[in-house]
Amino acid sequence: QAIRSINRCNETMTAEEFTDMVFNKIDINGDGELSLEEFMEGVQKDEMLLDILTRSLDLTHIVRLIQND
């Protein structure tokens, strides 16, 4: 939620819905935990998830604000 408020992400799903979607898609062994390997492999295989994460973590406008001050 904090990242979304900082970077003005316009996703319609809540943070909880996003988290559920991530686990449903890439928790391969179904243990309720994501290893780094599961996460990396899952994100690389799912273009929609990769796109959402890329947009969510884009902080270029924050860097510009800092540089202009």
Is residue 3 very low, low, confident or very high in pLDDT (cuts 50, 70, 90)?
low
Any idea what the CATH number is for the domain that residue 35 is in? 1.10.238.10
> What is the structure's pLDDT at 11?
63
Query: Does 7 map to a domain?
Result: no
- Whether 44 is covered by a domain: the verdict is yes
Q: How far apart are CA 40 and CA 52, in angstroms?
A: 14
Range of the domain at 54: 15-67
Answer yes or no: is 50 within a domain: yes
Q: What is the pTM of this model?
A: 0.61
- If one counts the domains in the chain, the total is 1
Report which residue type is found at 58. D
Q: How confident is the model at residue 8 (pLDDT cuts 50, 70, 90)?
A: low
- 7 with 52: CB under 8 angstroms? no
Find out whether 26 and 41 touch, Cβ atoms under 8 Å.
yes
- The DSSP result for 10-37, as a single string, is --SS-HHHHHHHHHHHH-TT-SS---HH
Is residue 1 one of the residues assigned to a domain? no
| pLDDT tens-digit map of 15-60 | 788 888 889 889 988 899 998 988 899 989 999 888 888 877 777 8
Residue 5 lies inside a defined structural domain of this protein: no
Task: Give residue 27's identity as a one-letter amino acid code.
Answer: D
